[in-house]
Amino acid sequence: MDGNVLFALGLTVFAGLATGIGSLLAFFTSRTNKKFLSMALGFSAGVMIFVALVEIFFKAKDALVAELGDVNGYWMTLVGFFGGMLFIGVIDRLLPSLGNPHEVKSVEAMDVQPTSAEHARLMKMGMFTALAIGIHNFPEGIATFMSAMSDPNLGIAIAIAVAIHNIPEGIAVAVPIYYATGSRKRAFKLSFLSGLAEPVGAIVAFLILMPFLSDLMFGVIFAGVAGIMVFISLDELLPAAKEFDETHSSIYGVVAGMMVMAASLVLFSV
Binding residues for Zn(2+): 140, 165, 169
Identify the burial level of 203 via C-beta atoms within 10 angstroms of its C-beta, where 0-12 means exposed, 13-18 middle and 19 or more buried.
middle
Cα torsion angle, 98, 104, 105, 106, sign? positive
The span from the CA of 112 to the CA of 48, in Å, is 35
Contact predicate 61/74, CB 8 Å: yes
Q: Of how many residues is the chain composed?
A: 270
Burial of 98 (0-12, 13-18, 19+ CB in 10 A): middle
Which positions make up the binding site?
137, 140, 165-166, 169, 198
d(CA 162, CA 178): 24
Q: Specify binding-site residues for Fe(2+).
A: 137, 140, 166, 169, 198
- Contact between 170 and 17 under an 8 Å Cβ cutoff? The reply is no
